[in-house]
Amino acid sequence: MSTPPESSSMSSLMNDQGILSDAESNDVPGTDTLTNCSQIEEEWMDHSGSEYECDDEWVTRPCSPLRAGALPLELWWGIFKIIDDPRALLACGYTCVAFRDAVRRVVYGRAAQWIDRGMAKMQLAADPTGGYFFERLWFWSHCFLSWMSTFPIPSPRLRFLWISGPQTLQTTTHTLSLRFQTRLALSRLTTITHLELSHVHFSSFSDFARMVCALPNLATLKLDGVIVDDRGSSALQGAYFARDLRLKKLEIRNCAFGESHPIWNLLTAPSLSDSLKHIDIKSYATDSQRALQEIIVPSVELFSPNLVQLTTLRLLGWNLSCGDIRNTVCRNALSRSPAGLITTIEIDYCCDHAPPHLNEWRSLFSALDDTVTAGEFSCLRTITVSFWADHPLDVDSVRTLLSSQSHSSKWTAAFAMSSMVFEPETVHETHSVSLEGSQKTEVVAEECIEGITLCIVMGYPYGSYKVTVRYTPRQST
């Protein structure tokens, strides 16, 4: 009876005196190493579910160098790349220093591999381990459901899932709707912490919420150009499927939801009060009306009872032109924000004109005056307003401009300018301004609970020149 090819190859390998002569344990593959690999595999099995934390244990474990006379590393490299058992591949990393480095390159190379949305299923099929080491996957929305029904095992390293529809919203025809079996399959992807939905259409808020809530360990949710049909929806406080949603960050880009859209009911998921810390709302729109629809603050009623851990609310209008539209964005953001929870207001006004539009920036202070004094910002500690420019700023002109700015009596009684800082260092100059003595510009002594930092960014804050004006509340007497 002939010996199977696999046995013949292994037998010849183990009896090759050029490889195994005078070999010590862990020098080159041999009987002892195979035994060790078996033990390592058992260790992996014992950790069931903790593979990601243990995958790289072999990186720091002591290994012997590859002895002279062994097979060339290039041959082993080719073998490692076709091993279809991920645990066996990892076990090879315990064998020797050379194997450890080679296996690490294979594993890290696959982990960092960019999975194109149109080729994801093909790339998964071509990978010997079935995508075991992939950290991110990107699918077209119409391919996602078929992947969920055919993907054999979830990768223990899979962290990022990106589902994308057509880039032009007018051509969005595929509606993503998940049946119970698909949501059940999603719930088994326990390693996914980041989900991005780009130009995806949902027929109802319920479909959207059930998909998001199906991922049990989701920490970051990004929505880009997502459409959710404006149909009746209810809050999620009592929804059984939403009880474990514990997002830490929510990012919304180019979504014209408006203030009353049902999408904001996602913020009523019961566990978000203990987890959600950051909300980013971004718009790349150049049309002012579109930008106003996209840069919107959720209803103030959602913040106090539901988002007590929120620390940052950022509103970013990258392509807003200088002028009244920026003042309107600031007024809307400040008037709709949860005033009693805001501790810091940061406004970045970015201008690429030559000369810089300082007068437009100056008009922003009137909008700031009107809205802040009209609200109940009882915990407000700091207001900073920055002007970014691509061209140099004249220090004296800026100081004269701001000193001529008139404020309401209510603002003057509540706030004082504490500093004016110019950057870069070539023109760096710090001006401490006091209207009625330094003791009047101290931060209010009464401490409030840790609140929310409201950031409003208009334009791209990457200019070479910057001036920052800082206001602090006057100390009550």
pLDDT in tens, 226-241: 988 876 667 888 888 9
Task: Indicate if 341 and 437 belong to the same structural domain.
Answer: yes
Report whether pLDDT(144) > 90: no
pLDDT in tens, 316-327: 999 998 888 999
Report whether pLDDT(244) > 50: yes
CA dihedral sign of residues 189, 195, 198, 203 = positive
Which CATH number do you get for residue 233? 3.80.10
Task: Indicate if 208 and 68 belong to the same structural domain.
Answer: no
What confidence score (pLDDT) does residue 455 get?
97
Task: Indicate if 13 and 104 belong to the same structural domain.
Answer: yes
Task: Indicate if 169 and 201 belong to the same structural domain.
Answer: yes
Residue 346: which domain range?
Answer: 320-477
What percent of the chain shows pLDDT beyond 70? 73
Task: Specify whether the CB–CB gap between 238 and 211 falls below 8 A.
Answer: no
Minimum mean pLDDT among 58-62, 342-346, 470-474: which range? 58-62
Q: Examine the fold and report which residue of 111, 146, 174 is the final residue of a domain before the chain moves on.
A: 111
Domain count, the chain: 3
Determine, yes or no, domain membership for 120: no
Task: Indicate if 334 and 456 belong to the same structural domain.
Answer: yes
Determine, yes or no, domain membership for 457: yes
Task: Indicate if 194 and 231 belong to the same structural domain.
Answer: yes
Task: Indicate if 380 and 434 belong to the same structural domain.
Answer: yes
Report whether pLDDT(415) > 70: yes
pLDDT in tens, 303-317: 767 788 899 999 999
Query: Once rounded to an integer, what is the mean pLDDT over residues 351-376?
Result: 91
Minimum mean pLDDT among 74-83, 104-113, 426-435: which range? 426-435
What confidence score (pLDDT) does residue 120 get?
66
Task: Indicate if 289 and 152 belong to the same structural domain.
Answer: yes
Task: Indicate if 213 and 335 belong to the same structural domain.
Answer: no
Determine, yes or no, domain membership for 118: no
In the structure, what pLDDT confidence band is assigned to residue 331 with cuts at 50, 70 and 90? very high
Question: What separation in angstroms does the CA of 204 have from each of 66, 227, 255?
Answer: 60, 9, 15
CB atoms within 10 A of CB 154: 16
Task: Indicate if 366 and 425 belong to the same structural domain.
Answer: yes
Task: Indicate if 102 and 154 belong to the same structural domain.
Answer: no
Contacts of 280 (CB under 8 A, 6+ apart): 249, 250, 251, 252, 312, 314, 316
Tell me which range, 153-167, 425-439, 444-458, is most confidently predicted by mean pLDDT.
153-167
**Pairing status of strand 312-317 against strand 452-458:** parallel
Report whether pLDDT(111) > 90: no
